[in-house]
Amino acid sequence: MTSPLIHDALPTVLVVDDEVRSQDAMRRTLDEDFTVFTASSAEEARGLLERQPVSVILCDQRMPGITGVAFLKEVRERWPEVVRIVISGYTDSEDIIAGINEAGIYQYILKPWSPDHLLEAVRNAVEAQTLQRQTSRLDLELRTSTRVLRQRTARQVVQARHHFGFERIVRAAGSPIELVCAMAERAARYDLPVLVLGESGTGKELLARAIHYASPRLEGPFEVENCAAIPDTLLESELFGHKRGAFTGAYEDHAGLFQRADGGTVFLDEIGETSPAFQVKLLRVLQEGEVRPVGAARPVPVDVRIIAATHRQLEQRVHDGLFREDLYYRLAGVTLTVPPLRARVADITPIAHQIVQDVARELGHPGAVLPDETLACLLAYPWPGNIRELRNEIARAMALHDGIELPPGAFSARVLQGRAVGGGDLVSALPANGTLTERLDVIEAMVLRETLLRHRWNKTRTAAELGLSRVGLRAKMQRFGLEK
């Protein structure tokens, strides 16, 4: 037996084996990562355990006088925190079952063992003990500090609600998105599914988060899945979970997103990209309020609110047979359409200023100023990529340009020219939905922007070309948020 009792920072391992050569082999494998003690009998090991804290025991099964399982059963009763591992050259199923049931064996290692396997097993055992201790401590803290935790949770909910609330959706007064936010805030109070339509980059996820934090489920999780990012087979596992061995690579049970979101909200982005086969499975979840993990024998009940989003026209996809009609009506309890950035021109300036602050904070940048001529260029561009494209342009300009002010030249050529890649097609710049009046407003705003930019913001020449008085031009500029 290793004699001196050392109190080391390394975890302690006790090797119990009646063969000295086996003891030496295990010590050589483990002694770089652990403090290793050895004992040749159960009695010797028992004496050491009474004097020395031990994290893990590696015990041979066949020893003179007492089996390893019998000794570890005693260890379990007297020193329950010690993680117990049996090493044996026999594959007797009765021994294995007895070890699991009676002695609470963590792992059963067969001889001849490999050094890497033994080392990995002991590392995992030490980690398991550490996690068990942490769990026990947290359980104690939870029992003794419920009031403090409740107060802390309430503060975090308030902070999250402030950070993700509707007031964080940046817009100008009278913006078209004001009506969308008002409808969303009313719908948030009721446990109805919500379908959010809109082009990519318009802020559909931001709106979904605001709905969650304005709802009675705000203390529950908010889980997000982009349905277009992964194939159907993996999507089913990710959303519904799977059991160990359900398919190749399923090495352990996996709780799906619906289970993790129980009591909260699931946001399914790009729902229009899913296949009809997957739509059938999702429909069952919505109808029955339960999921069946892949490979599971029985379903698991879940309580979630669904917010789905897509840039597709789902009604058209239903008509084309690409999306199930029954699933569409399950998702579209309340339908909200987020207008594109080109249909809310007045919002570009406040959004751009907010992006500058956010990017400066994220990049550790000192900050930047957007002068009037730069804002004029931003207002004149149709932003087919919406807020995401605007953010990318501002981040690029801040990263590559020296100086506090960002002149128009800091932005890409297409922004300076006021047209998107492949631009010049008025139809492609129009919003995909909206009333005739809303679409005509977009055209009028685009004509005003283009003319103002061409005349370098000279109102007299712009009004003359468009057949307007200066007062009339000023009124239209104010209406569309085009004042410098």
pLDDT at position 142? 63
> How many domains does the chain divide into?
3
- Mean model confidence pLDDT for the chain: 84
Any domain includes 154: no
Examine the domain organization and report whether 242 and 332 are in the same domain. Answer: yes
Examine the domain organization and report whether 389 and 434 are in the same domain. Answer: yes
- SS3 sequence of 236-274: HHHHHCECCCCCCCCCCCECCHHHHCCCCEEEEECHHHC
CA distance 97 to 83: 17
Non-local (6+) Cβ contacts of 119 within 8 A are 29, 30, 33
Examine the domain organization and report whether 203 and 333 are in the same domain. Answer: yes
pLDDT at position 451? 80
Residue 472's CATH number: 1.10.8.60
Residue range 427-445, pLDDT digits in tens: 555 565 667 777 777 778 8
pLDDT at position 455? 73
Examine the domain organization and report whether 364 and 461 are in the same domain. Answer: yes
Band (pLDDT 50/70/90 cuts) for residue 355 is very high
Examine the domain organization and report whether 31 and 135 are in the same domain. Answer: yes
CA distance 406 to 356: 10
pLDDT at position 91? 61
The whole-number average pLDDT for the span 170-177 is 89
Q: Helix or strand or coil: residue 196?
A: strand
pLDDT at position 243? 84
pLDDT at position 149? 57
Question: 126-136 burial, b if ≥16 CB within 10 A, otherwise e?
Answer: beebeeeeeee
List residues bridging with 369 in a β-sheet: 405
Contact status, residue 14 vs residue 55, Cβ threshold 8 Å: no
The whole-number average pLDDT for the span 51-77 is 89
Examine the domain organization and report whether 63 and 35 are in the same domain. Answer: yes
- Looking up tokens 């079952």, which residue turns up? 97
DSSP state string for 333-392: SEEEEPPPGGG-GGGHHHHHHHHHHHHHHHHT----B--HHHHHHHHHS--TTHHHHHHH
Residue 232's CATH number: 3.40.50.300
Is the pLDDT reported for residue 39 higher than 90?
yes
Examine the domain organization and report whether 311 and 374 are in the same domain. Answer: no
Any domain includes 108: yes
Single pTM value for the model: 0.59
Strands 290-291 and 265-269: unpaired
Residue range 185-241, pLDDT digits in tens: 999 999 999 999 999 999 999 999 999 999 999 888 999 999 988 887 788 888 988
The whole-number average pLDDT for the span 447-473 is 83
Contact status, residue 407 vs residue 371, Cβ threshold 8 Å: yes
Examine the domain organization and report whether 435 and 307 are in the same domain. Answer: no
Any domain includes 1: no
* Domain end position, chosen among 318, 338, 358: 338
CB atoms near residue 301 (< 10 Å)? 10
Is the pLDDT reported for residue 154 higher than 70?
no
Is the pLDDT reported for residue 3 higher than 50?
no
Q: How far apart are the first and last CA of the chain?
A: 85
pLDDT at position 178? 92
* Domain end position, chosen among 338, 356, 376: 338
Examine the domain organization and report whether 357 and 332 are in the same domain. Answer: no
pLDDT at position 4? 43
Examine the domain organization and report whether 459 and 424 are in the same domain. Answer: yes
Nearest one of 326, 368, 320, 340 to 201, comparing CA atoms: 340
Surface-to-core class of residue 309, CB atoms within 10 Å of its CB (0-12 exposed, 13-18 middle, 19+ buried): buried
CA distance 78 to 376: 78
Any domain includes 424: yes
CA distance 94 to 91: 9
Between CA 373 and CA 378, with CA 375 as vertex, the angle to 5 degrees is: 115
* Domain end position, chosen among 295, 314, 338: 338
pLDDT at position 422? 46
Contact status, residue 71 vs residue 45, Cβ threshold 8 Å: yes
Q: Which domain holds residue 450?
A: 342-479
The whole-number average pLDDT for the span 409-428 is 66
Strands 334-337 and 194-197: parallel
The whole-number average pLDDT for the span 346-359 is 93
CA distance 10 to 130: 13
Surface-to-core class of residue 445, CB atoms within 10 Å of its CB (0-12 exposed, 13-18 middle, 19+ buried): buried
Examine the domain organization and report whether 200 and 119 are in the same domain. Answer: no
Point out the least confidently predicted range of 140-144, 154-158, 275-279.
140-144
Residue range 111-148, pLDDT digits in tens: 888 898 899 999 999 988 888 877 777 766 666 555 65
What is the percent of the chain where pLDDT is above 70?
86
Examine the domain organization and report whether 198 and 328 are in the same domain. Answer: yes
